[in-house]
Amino acid sequence: MANANGVMSGCQNVSPDTSPSGQVVRVIAAIAMTLATACGSEQREVAVPPECTMTIDGVEHFIGSPNCFKRFPERKMSGYWVVGFEYSVYYADRPQAVWELDPNAVWLSLSEEAGQAAASYFADGKPHLLQVDFVGIHPGRPGSYGVGFRDGVHMTRLLRVQELADVEWRRGVAPDTSQEGRARTDTTFSGPGR
């Protein structure tokens, strides 16, 4: 549960680094944002209200709820959508194999309109790999999306969908190739009996 500052219970809100090096980092970030905006970049900094973030160990995480997604601009996107029973993930590039659970995937949530357009793929409870074009939102912020994903996309309108048949379906969990996942798998278990 979040408190009035948007911080999850049990977590502490950490003050910004006010050391000289912290100030230099903030100045460089401000200059980079100014230059990106001046050069006509499509990426604009979006002010995210406290109810859309939580701070864990001094790091701000975006909360990928539909209300928080709406604060970012929509854009046309293309890629691959794996949809199945209570599972919906997005890949910008076609995956070589599709795992039952993939910690490297991007959670894909749907607007009501997009969900209705894709209802037939949810109806049978089987997994499907779909090549899609859609209008959606990708905040590009690390956070909490879906059921434990670090990144997320919200599909607001499905433009084109084509089911792909030549798919290698893999049972279990895909290897976690993220930096955090590699750090977890490089440690030795030191539990009872070891």
pLDDT of residue 19: 55
What's the CATH fold of domain 67-173? OB fold (Dihydrolipoamide Acetyltransferase, E2P) (2.40.50)
Count of alpha carbons within 13 Å of 181, Cβ hemisphere only?
Answer: 12
User: Domain extents for the chain?
Assistant: 67-173
Burial of 62: CB neighbours in 10 Å, binned 0-12, 13-18, 19+ = buried
The predicted model scores a pTM of 0.65
Q: What's the confidence (pLDDT) of residue 126?
A: 85
Q: What percent of the chain has pLDDT over 90?
A: 29
Tokens at 7, concatenated:
């911080």
Where the chain has pLDDT below 50, the residues are 1-16, 22, 24-43, 181-194
Residues with Cβ within 8 Å of residue 24, at least 6 apart in sequence: none
